[in-house]
Structure 1
Amino acid sequence: MSKMMLNVNKHKSSKALQPGRVNRMSPGYGMYQQQSAKLQMTPQLRQAIKILQLSTPELLDWVQQELQDNPVLELDGASAGGWEQGVGRRGAGLELLQHAADHQPSLEGHLREQLSFIQPMSRTLRRIVLYMIGNLDTNGYLEPTLDEIALTLHVQADQVEQALAILQSMEPAGVGARGLRECLLLQVRALPDSSPLVPLLIKHHLEAVAGYHVHKLAVQLKASTQEIKLAMNVIKSLNPRPGAAFHAGDVKYMIPDVMIDKVGEQFVVRMNEMAAPRLSLNGQYERMVQEGGGNQEVRQFLRERLNAAAFFVRCIEQRRWTVYRVTQAIAEEQIEFLQKGAAHLRPMNLRQIADKVHLHESTVSRATAGKYAQTPWGVFELSFFFPSGVSRELGEAASSESVKTRLRAWIEQEDRSKPHSDQKLADLLTEEGIQISRRTVAKYREELGLASSVRRKRL
């Protein structure tokens, strides 16, 4: 990588304000010599830093662009085999980004397919249903009002009502609802032999159900607490977001930059060739510049392109080496995680790794941002290995991730009729030597998307 430039500015000296007299003990006005050091961020240094902090998809885009723009740059022969078959030097592109996770059909596609099987139906009615399908939010709720739909499509109100009934008869149950209560009632309608208390609670007492006010509801509705609990359990089994499962969201590409594999009793770090392409300079163009002859302007152009390509190749190799060194240090520090899983992830910060590999913290930060490692326990962003810690006995520390793993396991294995309270979970952690407050337990539980003990309670 390019070096930071050191500028030394020398200022000319002149006589003091009072000729023949210099007061060296007190500050004053005047001209004097002074050397100053200043770090200058050159364009080459900016490029090197930028390449280091790029994620893999961003890097591949940049490499593709450089291959197209610079005629002297090419994929190394040994590296090209790891890329798509038939990738040419120019114009073919890098068809690498095919690592998107499979996703389910969209909600719109799912509903359109069902609509195609509903016969007979007038063209107008089908047009209204299609319009409604196209105006569902990601939860499956209908956004425009029926009056707005009638006005927009220039149709009668009763036709819109008919179209809504068709939409709400489709799967998933609850789709096409205009609010939470209607969504839940549509699902209850599809349930066989549900208690009449269920729709009653949904229509008039949903807030009390959310707060699990069993005794209060039993008194108000003149029902037994057992009947109220059974009705609550039915409501809690319903899906308030029926369309969410079909919402694919943005397609995310995840190409691991490094692999951490277990070989025998050791863990070996290796770079993923598809994530860090090896580049080289075209030998024919290099010889043309070295041998001279030909057009002077062409030789000058090629010389400039060769210098730019050589620097770009060095940046790519430096990025590869830096990410490898940082990952190797992380693997050594997080050996228990690699051996036993997330519950054994230990607290760690950037400074620890920076000191270990003799790099600045900012360099380690850039080397881990947006980079992924494939481990025996799955694919993780390198920043995952720098969790915060909580206090533990004997001066040790436990990572927040390991605490969350314990919390999730205890909650999944608990007796649902007597779920663990946050205080009970804090006590269980204390028994393992992890000092943590009830409030912190509640925070971690919410980050895991787990409900409170009151809402987890089942008969």
Structure 2
Amino acid sequence: MHMRPGYGMFQQQTTKMQITPQLRKAITILKLTTPELLEVIQQEVTENPVLEIAGNKGDAHNLTPTFFHGARRTDHDNDPLLNIASNEVSLERHLKEQLGFIKKIPPSIRCTVSFMIGNLDHNGYLRSTLPEISEVRKLELAQVERALRILQSFEPRGIGARDLRECLLLQVQSLADCFPLVSLLIRKHLKDIANYHLHKLSTLLQVSTQEIQAAIDVIKSLNPRPGAAFHIETVHYIIPEVIIEKAGEQLVVMLPQAASSGLSVSGYYERMASENSDNNELNRFLSGKLHAAKFFLKCLEQRRRTIFRVTQAIVEEQRDFFWHGYAHLKPMTLKQIAEKLGVHESTVSRATAGKYAQTPWGIFELKYFFPSGLQMDIGDSASSEHVKTRIKTWISEENPRKPYSDQKLADLLKEEGISISRRTITKYREELGISSSVRRKRI
């Protein structure tokens, strides 16, 4: 009997995981950072009338605003920090204040200086050309140049420059005891300075390498971005989720009072729901809100427990780090912690991303405790942080006249049983913000 292919309908049972809205919400809450969680709690309290936050004054970790029952008014008035005036001064305001002290200049020049101030980038450079400004302001080019000279006389020196060379020269002019070689190097040899061609410059300019070195040291002390100090950036606050402390011979994991500690279901609405059970519409509304509120609180508690368990497992695996410091951080993967706790690897990833721990060695993101590893000759492994610590230590102790090359650093690590390529050493050194041996060499 031959079976012929064809179409048909049949039943088949399969097992698969379906992500419900409730599970999706629980996952979302777990991966939230503390500032994001505070915003979600604020939103939930605003949208769900059965949720309320009790005042909890004096708690440094409870950053959630207090809500008054009934009018639901946010009590910001009692926070003295919100009433402190900002002392930040913008670059534009700083320069215009200096312009105000100059009295004897024509109004057209004053307005042109003000116009230039408004066209500076956040580093303090003037990106518009003088002919463009001349055309816009309807002034002679000589008048625009006069306005630029006024602007470039302001503090911080270097403001109003049109390129790096001009910026550095403006600062050199204000130095009292600056020798001519510095200006010469800036005007004609910036590229050689960047490449640290000391011997080439020494031969070309007929001066000693020591003089070249001294001039470069002066140039390094100048500010290539004079306006950057006035650039106001958004401040990102870090709120530790966990605190890890030494207690005698033990390491203790503590959770600060949670942002949700004062969050609860209103007893008033629970009583209202039970007293109005015969009112179907009201009862249906309150029951839905009560169920949503209780599930939200359950998700918050589950998030708290998961972060605590993950942190405990991290402390057990990285015990040497918490007792002895950075050099003792060992390689570890998310999978190791997941298997230790019997959870999925993605759960550990969500519980550690954007969460911070306060430790005896400072504040670290929990992700920090999962460094990559390098194989050692003795069969063990070393973390990249350990290697970076060794590199930093050796460079800090090196002879400045004979600094260690990247290959030499690789050889030193080889002697400690860590096999690592020169290219990897270069990568780690650059991540540490350390210059090459050529640039570190002192003559």
TM-score (norm 1): 0.85
**Residues 70 and 52 (structure 1), Cα distance of their counterparts in 2 relative to 1, 3 Å cut:** same
Q: Which residue pairs with 1:54 in the alignment?
A: 32
Q: Which residue pairs with 2:115 in the alignment?
A: 131
Give the C-alpha shift of residue 56 in structure 1.
Answer: 1.3
Matched, 1:244 2:228: yes
C-alpha separation in 2, matches of 1:107 and 1:340: 45
Matched, 1:200 2:181: no
Give the C-alpha shift of residue 240 in structure 1.
Answer: 2.2
Matched, 1:387 2:371: yes
2:356–2:365: 8 Å Cα contact kept in structure 1? yes
Deviations 1:28-70 (A, max 9, x none): 7655442112322211111111111111111111110111111
C-alpha separation in 2, matches of 1:414 and 1:72: 65
Q: Which residue pairs with 1:441 in the alignment?
A: 425
Q: Which residue pairs with 1:350 in the alignment?
A: 334
Q: Which residue pairs with 1:69 in the alignment?
A: 47
Deviations 1:242-264 (A, max 9, x none): 33343332221221111222223
Residue 269 (structure 1) aligned to one of 239, 253, 259: 253
1:174–1:187: 8 Å Cα contact kept in structure 2? yes
**Residues 138 and 61 (structure 1), Cα distance of their counterparts in 2 relative to 1, 3 Å cut:** same
Deviations 1:326-374 (A, max 9, x none): 1111122222222222222211110011111211001111111111111
**Residues 313 and 76 (structure 1), Cα distance of their counterparts in 2 relative to 1, 3 Å cut:** farther
C-alpha separation in 1, matches of 2:181 and 2:100: 36
Is the partner of 1:262 in helix, strand or coil? strand
Matched, 1:423 2:407: yes
Is the partner of 1:394 in helix, strand or coil? coil
Matched, 1:218 2:202: yes
C-alpha separation in 2, matches of 1:110 and 1:333: 52
2:65–2:74: 8 Å Cα contact kept in structure 1? no
Q: Which residue pairs with 1:363 in the alignment?
A: 347
1:141–1:176: 8 Å Cα contact kept in structure 2? yes
Q: Which residue pairs with 1:34 in the alignment?
A: 12
**Residues 131 and 342 (structure 1), Cα distance of their counterparts in 2 relative to 1, 3 Å cut:** farther
Deviations 1:366-406 (A, max 9, x none): 11111111112222111111111222231222221222233
**Residues 84 and 118 (structure 1), Cα distance of their counterparts in 2 relative to 1, 3 Å cut:** farther
Give the C-alpha shift of residue 274 in structure 1.
Answer: 4.9
Give the C-alpha shift of residue 294 in structure 1.
Answer: 5.9
Residue 73 (structure 2) aligned to one of 85, 91, 99: 91
Of stretches 45-54 and 83-92 in structure 1, the one that deviates more from structure 2 is: 83-92
C-alpha separation in 1, matches of 2:293 and 2:2: 56
The two structures, once aligned, show a CA RMSD in angstroms of 2.9
Figure out how many residues of one structure are paired with residues of the other and give that number: 434
Is the partner of 2:16 in helix, strand or coil? strand
2:54–2:67: 8 Å Cα contact kept in structure 1? no
Q: Which residue pairs with 1:190 in the alignment?
A: 174
**Residues 364 and 85 (structure 1), Cα distance of their counterparts in 2 relative to 1, 3 Å cut:** closer
C-alpha separation in 2, matches of 1:402 and 1:243: 37
The residue identity in structure 1 corresponding to 2:68 is G
Matched, 1:253 2:237: yes
Deviations 1:140-187 (A, max 9, x none): 222212222233334443333223222222333322211111112112
Query: What percentage of aligned pairs have identical amino acids?
Result: 58
Is the partner of 1:428 in helix, strand or coil? helix
**Residues 453 and 356 (structure 1), Cα distance of their counterparts in 2 relative to 1, 3 Å cut:** same
Of stretches 216-225 and 315-324 in structure 1, the one that deviates more from structure 2 is: 216-225
**Residues 317 and 380 (structure 1), Cα distance of their counterparts in 2 relative to 1, 3 Å cut:** same
1:354–1:361: 8 Å Cα contact kept in structure 2? yes
Of stretches 66-75 and 224-233 in structure 1, the one that deviates more from structure 2 is: 224-233
C-alpha separation in 1, matches of 2:241 and 2:75: 20
Residue 285 (structure 1) aligned to one of 255, 263, 269: 269
**Residues 27 and 247 (structure 1), Cα distance of their counterparts in 2 relative to 1, 3 Å cut:** same
Is the partner of 1:159 in helix, strand or coil? helix
Matched, 1:301 2:279: no
C-alpha separation in 1, matches of 2:101 and 2:381: 60
C-alpha separation in 2, matches of 1:104 and 1:336: 43
The residue identity in structure 2 corresponding to 1:91 is R
The residue identity in structure 1 corresponding to 2:148 is L
C-alpha separation in 2, matches of 1:318 and 1:80: 26
**Residues 307 and 372 (structure 1), Cα distance of their counterparts in 2 relative to 1, 3 Å cut:** same
Of stretches 276-285 and 380-389 in structure 1, the one that deviates more from structure 2 is: 276-285
Of stretches 231-240 and 377-386 in structure 1, the one that deviates more from structure 2 is: 231-240
1:64–1:93: 8 Å Cα contact kept in structure 2? no
**Residues 165 and 315 (structure 1), Cα distance of their counterparts in 2 relative to 1, 3 Å cut:** same
Of stretches 344-353 and 423-432 in structure 1, the one that deviates more from structure 2 is: 423-432
Of stretches 116-125 and 162-171 in structure 1, the one that deviates more from structure 2 is: 116-125
1:210–1:455: 8 Å Cα contact kept in structure 2? no
Of stretches 387-396 and 270-279 in structure 1, the one that deviates more from structure 2 is: 270-279
Give the C-alpha shift of residue 85 in structure 1.
Answer: 7.4
